[in-house]
Amino acid sequence: MRFGIKNINCRAYSLVEVLSASGILLMGIGAVLSLSHGTLSQEEVTRQLARGYCFQENAAKLYYLGLEPEEIIDLLPLDTTELELNFTDSYMVRVNDVEVEASSVSVKIKGSNSFTMNNNLSLNSHEKNPGRDLPPIEVYRPTTRLD
């Protein structure tokens, strides 16, 4: 009787191959997570800009219709922690030989602790951003003169 060790040909992955495959997999997962965080941050900034422009345009339309700035600020559902609506003092302007009342409407988007967009349009997570001013809209409204 012969007793011997059978010659078994089993192949397996070495430790180096397993570690390199795991590293590549982790880099891919990290890239996907980083991209999704950046996308969500940019979506939040875009949402804030869209709300700011919407409030600015609605405030300009209400001013044109004859409402006073205090009434407009009270009327619009403004979230004061996120947006700040400002009017300049009214002044008279001559347009086509007619005097009209004018004012500028501006909106400031207040900064937050997360990623925010600053005035030069770059994302920065290390500095607290005080906010962003939207370009002002100059609004003219006709006046009735009682002489």
pLDDT given for residue 27 in this prediction: 96
What residues form DSSP beta bridges with 86? 106
Residue 123 has pLDDT above 60, yes or no: no
Q: By mean pLDDT, which of 17-31, 46-60, 97-111, 114-128 is the weakest?
A: 114-128
Q: By mean pLDDT, which of 2-6, 24-28, 59-63, 68-72 is the weakest?
A: 2-6
The DSSP element (H or E) to which 41 belongs, if any, is helix 15-64
What are the Cα distances from residue 58, in Å, to 52, 55, 147?
A: 10, 5, 32
For 52, phi and psi rounded to 5 degrees?
-60, -45
Residue 23 has pLDDT above 50, yes or no: yes
pLDDT given for residue 24 in this prediction: 96
